[in-house]
Structure 1
Amino acid sequence: MKKLQLKIPVILPQVPNEKDACVKRLIKELEAEEGLEKVHIADEQADSVPQLCFHYDPDIISIDRIQSLAERTGAEITEKYGHLLIEVNGIRHTRQARTIEKSLLAIEGVLEASATAGGLIRLEYDKRETNLEEISARLEKENLKVDKSSSADEDGFVSAEKDPEKLNEEGKKGKEADHKDKGGHDHEEGEDHAHAHGGIFGKNTELIFAIICGALLGIGFGLSYVASIPDWVSLSLYVGAYFFGGYFTAKEAIQTVAKGGFEIDFLMLVAAIGAAVLGEWAEGALLLFLFSLGHALEHYAMNKARKSIAALADLAPKTALLKKDGKTEEVGIEKLGIGDIIVVKPNSKISADGVVVDGKSSVNQAPITGESVPVDKVPVEDSAKDYSEDDDIKDENRVFAGTINGNNTLEIKVIKEAKDSTLSRLVKLVNEAQTQKSPTQLLTDKFERYFVPSVLVLVGLLLLAFLVIDEPFSASFYRAMAVLVAASPCALAISTPSAVLSGVARAARGGVLIKGGRPLEDLGELTALAFDKTGTLTEGKPKLTQVVPLGDMQENELLKIAVAVEGLSDHPLAKAVVRDGKERLEGKEIPDASNLEAVLGKGIKASLSEDKIYIGNLDLFEGLDERTPSEKIATKVRGLEGGGNTTMLIRKNEEYIGIIALMDTPRGAAKQTLSELKEIGIKRMIMLTGDNQKVADAVAEEIGLTDAWGSLLPEEKVDAIKKLKEQESKVAMVGDGVNDAPAMANSTVGIAMGAAGSDVALETADIALMADKLETLPFAIGLSRKAKAIIKQNLWVSLGIVALLIPATIFGFANIGVAVVIHEGSTLLVVFNALRLLAYNK
């Protein structure tokens, strides 16, 4: 397995040197990430900036991911490394994509290159050793035209329409290579540009050439049986069939041989020329017809999956109605700035991410989140506020670019520029996902590296068979060519990428972002799921359920004290006490508290007039002083906790005056969702929560979890995930992608819910559920299981046919025509089998 290493300077604010605990914590967290083999401080000069050295597997984790991980844990990574995602025109199939990968990796400074048959190239390179000029020059040598490129800078990925000339110009700017283009996309991704191989018939030239070849072959073959027509007429038609059937084959074969390699195209051409030399023009023309038709249909089939992804980019309208000084004017979405107000008319698409400032309507969010029911939208309370940095916008106020307004006009305040919208990020991440190879694809690539040379040795021996067996050279040649065709692993090469592409495309259409083949396959193999409790399995909105006064205390008086003290805290439970307490007090005056002091994980202390107020769990009072709660009070507290409540005991000076209880109610869909997950084969479903064990057990029993682990601190959740991985091999962590990021990083697959409203969740999770709906999870897992099953089917078909066809051609049971039919048939079979994923429904 290929391993790489890179060094990144560590610049941590207020950290004296690399031996500081912060750096050790950073290293510990990074080493927990899958794909990072080792992280350590490199040996540097005493006066230089300390550098972290990363030993990593590029097939599992990218440089860009390493940088984002390091930044999230506190490091400012200097921009030594570039990350490019380029969309090109001219890659015809998976085998050519691999050739391009090798060519790009030959450029000094390019650390990793991944190309797909879909026309996407992902590059990671050292900016000090190479630049866009060199990269674009190499792409031109490969006869590829750049349609779009996106590069990583301090603001993330920026997409812009490019052409080779412009890309070259940017490359010449040296350090300005990682450009930032404010423009939008005029390029229509929905067009089949990726496979417009040129020619008089445009994008369909290859298919039309194949049909012409078949027509000429058929006419020539038919005329050969008419005695009155000279032989040269049929021969002329066969020559014409050779031209149309062999045009693209010869073009690619010449390009490949010029680079010192050869693929199946070259072998087909050699076999066809051999047939012509031996006078078997009809057989050679048939071979070229079947091969060219198979390739053309393969491109057509793969385009169906690409279109599904390309359609995402076309969701957002290209213009918006900008409201300025009381007037509205139509402008391009690239001209919209944060804070602008846009008007969205009834039944039209929303042009930008924003918040509603005027009007009420229902919005169809299915294009982004996959939700089937439109969501009601209402204006925000404070329309003057800047919401661009606010991560906690209510769903009823937030709208996304590409979603569809209902029957009423809305006025929306823009909170993200077009290039940073949720839709733009989703398109970029889905495109990048196509370039991330799955474990099965890596395995098949490795198999082919050994298989192809073995086949060539076998073919070489078969060419010499006439020296041993009493047969003419032509017979040995035919047999060898038939074996070459039979052994060509075309179906194997495309079996996994086609399934991954279809799976990622279908998921995106259902509001699920799957970042590549690895998480797609891993999700399909899971038997255990770990859930964060708050906001994942529950509503995340605790409610005040009980107020229990003790001694002579009155309920209203107890509530006033609780609301006054908790009003100083920004803890979610404190906010719930204040919200529900004020509602119960119905406008009664609340006293002023001061001197708040928090005790981590236990409670708070504060002053109220001359009194000292303590609010917290039983642990707070155990270590406070000798005035511990009586057994009677402790029993009451435990009784409430046993019912699933989170309790707060309140003490005024030395007297215990009451108990308040809150409960975070489970999501309405939680029980049904967990039942569905059990049906599709998830054996263990574990809840990880900071709440006490009794609360955890009560929630687990109510919604049907198999395990509940309570009283966990954030770092203990990470240990819990590690423990689960030892027991279950592969475990997914489901959370919000923000607070749960460390636990997600340590799980096999991190799944974030409600990712459409969180940039952090979009970037950190392996799988992002765009809607904040737990019920999307069975769809995502079911789709992944189906994808895994289809990948296995494709592998058995592609390997099985090769295993049967090689001996059949060696022993003469199948000639070269049969070999071509079965070879092309198996390739089309695995592609169309993979396309079944596009029609997947839960």
Structure 2
Amino acid sequence: ITLTTRVLPVAKTVGDEVFAGTSNGGGALRVRVSRPAQETVVARIVAMVEQASATKATTQLFIEKIEQRYSIGMVAATVALFVIPLLWGADLRPTLLRAMTFMIVASPCAVVLATMPPLLCAMANAGRHGVLVKSAVVMEQLGQTSRVAFDKTGTLTEGTPQLADIRPLTGSGLRDDDLLRLAAAVEYPSEHPLGRAVVAAARDRGLALAPVREFGSTPGVGVHATVAGVRVAVGAPARLLADLTCPTAAVVSALEEAGRTVVLVLRDGVPVGLLGIADRLRADAAATVAALSTMTGATALLLTGDNPRAAAALATEIGIDDVRAGLLPQDKVDAVRALQAQGERVALVGDGVNDAPALAAAHTGIAMGKAGSDLTLDTADAVIVRDELASIPAVIALSRRARRLVATNLVIAATFITGLVILDLLGHLPLPLGVAGHEGSTVIVGLNGLRLLRNTAWQRAPADS
């Protein structure tokens, strides 16, 4: 389902609500439209994105707040330094030189350059490593992150069902490959996502599949066919057998507790094995969650539309304690705003259409580039182009380093300006020396910011946090 991002199919029966944008797995489906197009969930998602984007406060850099007032004050002070001494009978030439020197050394060029080069260089460095940060303001905001929330499907996971467990039952006489070969042969003609996962696993193992006869498929139940004279059925345990025996039920329960979707295999009506199918976790998910928890001092948060059991199993595997499952788009927005009301600076990582409103509401929205929908990519403040979760703690650390360089540059610029202005007011600063000091401070802060262009700035980012 597009709106809940469940990668595994969900059975629907007569009378169930079906969201617009839902994909029908197989068989004919008759749906009664109960709302006009402008009231569908997708339309409401677009409206929520627009609303959240309009009300989202944009963080302004400190220098942008004071630059205009400072410039006006500087010009006013320059005029005063020129006019007032003349009114008291001072000579024109030294008075003009002092006023000109003051205007040069008090000019905020170094202050302006103190902020943008580090942020722009950090953006360029992040871009070379597969992270698109859409503005300097976003690069600054990333470093303020105090809590990170993740979507599940397509973000922490790869978004594709894959075979995770093969469990031949005692007494079946089958090995793992035998059970998989039998199930894959029956599933081969099927278009069901779970069937494709089983067939893909058999191909990966190089298993030869026997031809089948009398293939049939029952939506919501499973598939059946004759393989080498044996009648084989593959499908949902609760639908294929009304009464599961205790050993089989125990295995089914254990797999479901681990967050698997369980598939039962019957041979001539007798259970011979179980398959566990899951959405595979990204290889760097656990390390990323651990790095972000260390960096922010708070555990990451899981916000997902998937079922609570699957969400809890994945969260346990990667070390997330705070899990919110079964969420619709508005629920994710509410969760983000609740954290913000507690003073948290929330960075949300997602990929689906259902994540777009929460991405817009979050302090910083980060989208997965490869699997992300168009609406999500447009809404997000930053895009992980290569879908490498490890890039998230790296870019946050890079942002923090850029913020430290901005602060350092502001101190350097303020020190130069203050020192040169004092010397000029005391009457001991020649104009050439004032120009050299002003231009020198501008060059120093500019070069200091350019340090973030080096590859070592990114490589050292996780350890530099």
The reply on whether 1:831 has 2:446 as its aligned counterpart is yes
**Identical aligned pairs, as a percentage?**
31
User: Which residue of the partner structure matches residue 516 of structure 1?
Assistant: 135
The reply on whether 1:577 has 2:195 as its aligned counterpart is no
Show the 5 A alignment for 1:25-36: 25=44, 28-34=47-53, 36=54
Give TM-score, length-normalised by structure 1: 0.42
Q: Is the 8 A contact 1:561 1:591 kept in 2?
A: no
**Equivalent residue in structure 2 for 1:546, among 155, 159, 166:** 166
**Equivalent residue in structure 2 for 1:525, among 124, 144, 152:** 144
Q: Which runs of 5+ in 2 are unaligned?
A: 1-32, 226-230, 460-465
The RMSD of aligned alpha carbons is: 4.6
Tell me, in whole angstroms, the C-alpha distance in 2 between the residues paired with 1:701 and 1:24. 34
> Amino acid of the residue matched to residue 31 of structure 1?
E
Question: CA distance change for structure 1 residues 722 and 588 in 2, over 3 Å: closer, same or farther?
Answer: farther
Three-state SS of the structure 1 residue aligned to 2:143 is helix
Q: Is the 8 A contact 2:265 2:274 kept in 1?
A: no
Offset at residue 517 of structure 1 (A): 0.7
Offset at residue 520 of structure 1 (A): 1.1
Three-state SS of the structure 1 residue aligned to 2:49 is helix
Show the 5 A alignment for 1:129-208: none
User: Which residue of the partner structure matches residue 587 of structure 1?
Assistant: 209
Offset at residue 824 of structure 1 (A): 1.4
Offset at residue 614 of structure 1 (A): 9.5
Tell me, in whole angstroms, the C-alpha distance in 1 between the residues paired with 2:317 and 2:42. 43
User: Which residue of the partner structure matches residue 221 of structure 2?
Assistant: 605
> Amino acid of the residue matched to residue 823 of structure 1?
H
Show the 5 A alignment for 1:698-713: 698-712=313-327
Q: Larger relative CO (CA 8 A, sep 6+): 1 or 2?
A: 2
User: Which residue of the partner structure matches residue 130 of structure 1?
Assistant: none
Show the 5 A alignment for 1:313-324: none
Structure 1 residues 756-814: Cα deviation after superposition (integer angstroms, max 9, x where no partner): 99988765543233324333333322222221221222233334443454444334354
User: Which residue of the partner structure matches residue 413 of structure 2?
Assistant: 798
Show the 5 A alignment for 1:418-817: 439-440=60-61, 443-466=62-85, 469=88, 471-541=90-160, 542-547=162-167, 564=186, 568-571=190-193, 573-580=194-201, 586-590=208-212, 594=216, 596-597=218-219, 604-605=220-221, 608=224, 615-616=235-236, 636-642=251-257, 644-648=258-262, 659-681=274-296, 683-712=298-327, 716-727=331-342, 729-736=344-351, 740-753=355-368, 755=370, 765-812=380-427, 814-817=429-432
Offset at residue 504 of structure 1 (A): 2.0
User: Which residue of the partner structure matches residue 375 of structure 1?
Assistant: none
Tell me, in whole angstroms, the C-alpha distance in 2 between the residues paired with 1:474 and 1:15. 84
Q: Is the 8 A contact 2:188 2:199 kept in 1?
A: yes
Three-state SS of the structure 1 residue aligned to 2:115 is helix
Three-state SS of the structure 2 residue aligned to 1:773 is coil
> Amino acid of the residue matched to residue 299 of structure 2?
R
More helix by share: 2
Structure 1 residues 548-575: Cα deviation after superposition (integer angstroms, max 9, x where no partner): 659999897898579747964443x442
Q: Which runs of 5+ in 1 are unaligned?
A: 1-13, 38-55, 61-437, 598-603, 622-626
Q: Is the 8 A contact 2:169 2:248 kept in 1?
A: no
Q: Is the 8 A contact 2:359 2:365 kept in 1?
A: yes
Question: CA distance change for structure 1 residues 492 and 17 in 2, over 3 Å: closer, same or farther?
Answer: farther
Three-state SS of the structure 1 residue aligned to 2:262 is strand
Q: Is the 8 A contact 1:564 1:591 kept in 2?
A: no
Structure 1 residues 532-551: Cα deviation after superposition (integer angstroms, max 9, x where no partner): 33444345552240336599
Tell me, in whole angstroms, the C-alpha distance in 2 between the residues paired with 1:770 and 1:500. 19
Q: Is the 8 A contact 1:544 1:581 kept in 2?
A: no
Tell me, in whole angstroms, the C-alpha distance in 2 between the residues paired with 1:591 and 1:580. 22
Offset at residue 680 of structure 1 (A): 4.0
Three-state SS of the structure 2 residue aligned to 1:588 is coil
> Amino acid of the residue matched to residue 200 of structure 2?
R
Give TM-score, length-normalised by structure 2: 0.70
Structure 1 residues 342-366: Cα deviation after superposition (integer angstroms, max 9, x where no partner): xxxxxxxxxxxxxxxxxxxxxxxxx
Question: CA distance change for structure 1 residues 799 and 575 in 2, over 3 Å: closer, same or farther?
Answer: farther
Offset at residue 455 of structure 1 (A): 2.2
Offset at residue 706 of structure 1 (A): 4.8
User: Which residue of the partner structure matches residue 228 of structure 2?
Assistant: none
Q: Is the 8 A contact 1:544 1:576 kept in 2?
A: no
Question: CA distance change for structure 1 residues 593 and 715 in 2, over 3 Å: closer, same or farther?
Answer: farther
Question: CA distance change for structure 1 residues 630 and 454 in 2, over 3 Å: closer, same or farther?
Answer: farther
Question: CA distance change for structure 1 residues 539 and 595 in 2, over 3 Å: closer, same or farther?
Answer: closer
Q: Is the 8 A contact 1:528 1:732 kept in 2?
A: yes
Offset at residue 670 of structure 1 (A): 3.5
> Amino acid of the residue matched to residue 60 of structure 2?
P
Tell me, in whole angstroms, the C-alpha distance in 2 between the residues paired with 1:675 and 1:587. 42
> Amino acid of the residue matched to residue 784 of structure 1?
S
Tell me, in whole angstroms, the C-alpha distance in 1 between the residues paired with 2:393 and 2:73. 44
Q: Is the 8 A contact 1:567 1:575 kept in 2?
A: no
> Amino acid of the residue matched to residue 385 of structure 2?
M
Q: Is the 8 A contact 2:119 2:399 kept in 1?
A: no
Three-state SS of the structure 2 residue aligned to 1:445 is helix
User: Which residue of the partner structure matches residue 30 of structure 2?
Assistant: none
Tell me, in whole angstroms, the C-alpha distance in 2 between the residues paired with 1:530 and 1:656. 45
Tell me, in whole angstroms, the C-alpha distance in 2 between the residues paired with 1:711 and 1:17. 25
Structure 1 residues 338-395: Cα deviation after superposition (integer angstroms, max 9, x where no partner): xxxxxxxxxxxxxxxxxxxxxxxxxxxxxxxxxxxxxxxxxxxxxxxxxxxxxxxxxx
> Amino acid of the residue matched to residue 97 of structure 2?
Y
Offset at residue 833 of structure 1 (A): 0.9
Question: CA distance change for structure 1 residues 637 and 779 in 2, over 3 Å: closer, same or farther?
Answer: same
Tell me, in whole angstroms, the C-alpha distance in 2 between the residues paired with 1:490 and 1:446. 15
Show the 5 A alignment for 1:64-463: 439-440=60-61, 443-463=62-82
> Amino acid of the residue matched to residue 579 of structure 1?
A
Q: Is the 8 A contact 1:568 1:596 kept in 2?
A: no
